[in-house]
Amino acid sequence: MKSASITVKLPEPVKTRLDRLAKTTHRSRSSLVSSAVEEMLSVEEWQIQGIKEAIHEADSGNLLAHEEIKLEWEARRRAHQVGK
């Protein structure tokens, strides 16, 4: 995969931590930053997709009443407590 360069300004304490981690793990700062950005993007994209799906469900009228949800979670909690 082709790589592109960007410039990122980090607070000095964050850069120090990044340098320390790079040295400890024998990885480059660039590799660590790239991995961190990829992970953050995956999480953010997953959250946004979930929000879009939830909005679509709500717009479609596919909703549960608060009391139904409350009863379901109370049943799950009781089942969990019994299983201990």
Say whether pTM exceeds 0.85: no
CA distance 22 to 6: 19
CA 14 to chain centroid, in Å, comes to: 20
Tens of pLDDT, residues 43-69:
999 999 999 999 999 999 988 899 999
Tens of pLDDT, residues 16-50:
999 999 999 999 999 999 999 999 999 999 999 99
N-to-C CA span, the chain: 49
Q: Which two tokens stand for residue 27?
A: 């990885």
